[in-house]
Amino acid sequence: MSFSPELIAELEVLALFNLDSSQEGIKIHNTASPTLIAAAQRLHEKGLTDQPDGGYLTSLGHDAVESVQLLQNILRAPQPA
């Protein structure tokens, strides 16, 4: 299974969220790239955020961001020699 450009854009939007504070959301402005605007809309339609332009994470969205951050940490870790 490969990652589609749409899925990658959704992962990029999810990576913008800060899990250190449940009171901190994001806003994808109308001046952002059409790709990010569409990704934010799709995440909302999937029930991961409470607003079509970002907003706050739902419980499912919080789980998704945790997974995205875990994957980023694994892939960024130095490889053993």
Per-residue model confidence (pLDDT) at position 81 = 67
pLDDT in tens, 5-42: 999 999 999 999 999 887 899 999 999 999 999 999 99
Q: Is residue 12 in some structural domain?
A: yes
Distance CA 39, CA 22 (A): 21
Q: Is residue 28 in some structural domain?
A: yes
Rounded to two decimals, the pTM is 0.89
Distance CA 36, CA 6 (A): 9
Q: Is residue 81 in some structural domain?
A: no
The whole domain housing 31 covers 5-76
Q: Is residue 56 in some structural domain?
A: yes
Domain count, the chain: 1
Q: Is residue 39 in some structural domain?
A: yes
